[in-house]
Amino acid sequence: MKIIMLGAPGAGKGTQAKKIAEKYGVPHISTGDIFRANIKAGTELGMKAKGYMDQGLLVPDEVTIGMLLDRIHQDDCEKGYVLDGFPRTIPQAESLTKALAEMGEAIDFAIDVDVPDENIISRMSGRRACLKCGATYHTQFAPPAKEGVCDVCGSELVLRDDDKPETVKNRLKVYHEQTQPLIDYYKEKGVLHTVDGTQTMEAVFQSITEILGA
Ligand code: ADP
Ligand code: AMP
């Protein structure tokens, strides 16, 4: 089962991708998480990505595509995966389609988590992230048991630099210009499904499981 999550930054892609991964037993692959892990570890890839991420811009396709294709060729991806944050440009989608076609495969579901821009800024300013294990919380909608502390690993929770309102505005602009066209790309391939992302997290997940099947 190969799934792509589409939607604006903060729409809830990561939240839902984690639940899908758990229920269907496939890896959750977030390009944003991979970049953040590389930044934390001080790798060359992380240094390349950081400047773009801090400004709310996309990391160039030359860096991102190879990294993602390497990841989906690993053994744990044999039964499928849920991609969160990739593809974000038409060239990324085309590279993925081509790489899969070479193996006689294709994406099964592209799920667009639809949330209007008005809701995004408040979603993002309340998001708290654990940079150690990747868990995500929301001060209002999904608070941790103890304020500022990750339930999973006990590390400190932070407001990501790129979740500050001025950067979120840039990210939304980039989303509309470069990523939203992917909705039509996957519609034409007959695999697009749209869910109303303004519902509660549980209701969004229920809509997704109805699409994916038990
Ligand atoms: P994305 O991966 O699309 O950037 P996230 O899954 O990290 O988005 O969600 C962004 C923020 O909104 C997080 O703080 C998350 O806890 C919260 N969130 C996710 N889904 C919902 C929802 N359905 N209702 C309210 N808040 C949500
Ligand atoms: P995310 O965690 O998905 O919100 O991504 C955080 C940031 O990482 C984005 O704003 C981009 O700068 C970068 N990024 C993540 N995925 C991609 C991608 N597929 N292409 C380009 N940049 C990406």
Which CATH number covers residue 84?
Answer: 3.40.50.300
Catalytic residue selected from 13, 18, 19, 36:
13
Please state the domain count of the chain: 1
Looking at the DSSP bridge assignments, the partners of residue 149 are: 156
Distance of CA 17 to the CA centre of its chain: 8
Domain extent at residue 9 = 2-26+79-212
**pTM beyond 0.75, yes or no:** yes
Pairing mode, strands 136-138 and 109-114 = unpaired
Is 31 within the bounds of a domain?
Answer: no
**Above 90 in pLDDT, residue 15?**
yes
Mean pLDDT (whole number) for 43-48: 96
Distance, CA 64 to ligand 2 centroid (Å)?
9
**Which atom from ligand 1 is nearest to the alpha carbon of 137?**
16
pLDDT range class, residue 115, cuts 50, 70, 90 = very high
Dihedral, CA of residue 96, residue 97, residue 100 and residue 103, to nearest 10: -140
Cβ neighbours around 148 below 10 Å, total: 12
**Above 80 in pLDDT, residue 191?**
yes
Q: What is the pLDDT of residue 64?
A: 97
Is 45 within the bounds of a domain?
Answer: no
Is 86 within the bounds of a domain?
Answer: yes
Residue 88 a catalytic site member: yes
Helix segments in 113-197, DSSP class H: 117-126, 165-174, 181-188
Q: Hey, whose CA ends up nearest to atom 14 of ligand 2? A: 32
Pairing mode, strands 157-158 and 81-84 = unpaired
Prior bond of 87 cis (ω within 30°): yes
**Which atom from ligand 1 is nearest to the alpha carbon of 113?**
3
CA nearest neighbour of 120 among 176, 46, 65: 176
Q: How far apart (Å, rounded) are the C-alpha atoms in residues 79 and 52?
A: 33
pLDDT range class, residue 60, cuts 50, 70, 90 = very high
Mean pLDDT (whole number) for 154-165: 93
Is 72 within the bounds of a domain?
Answer: no
Is 202 within the bounds of a domain?
Answer: yes
Residue 127 a catalytic site member: yes
**Above 90 in pLDDT, residue 68?**
yes
pLDDT range class, residue 188, cuts 50, 70, 90 = very high
For the chain, percent of residues with pLDDT exceeding 90: 93
Is 64 within the bounds of a domain?
Answer: no
Cβ pair 146, 41 in contact under 8 A = no
Residue 4 structure tokens: 């792509």
Is 35 within the bounds of a domain?
Answer: no
Is 153 within the bounds of a domain?
Answer: yes
Distance, CA 61 to ligand 1 centroid (Å)?
25
Residue 112 structure tokens: 């667009």
- Of the ligands numbered here, which is closest to the C-alpha atom of 35? 2
Distance, CA 52 to ligand 2 centroid (Å)?
9
**Which atom from ligand 1 is nearest to the alpha carbon of 123?**
12
pLDDT range class, residue 214, cuts 50, 70, 90 = confident
C-alpha R_g of the chain: 16
Helix segments in the chain, DSSP class H: 13-24, 31-41, 44-54, 61-72, 90-101, 117-126, 165-174, 181-188, 201-212
- The predicted-structure confidence for 73-114, as pLDDT tens digits, reads as follows 999 999 999 999 999 999 999 999 999 999 999 999 999 999
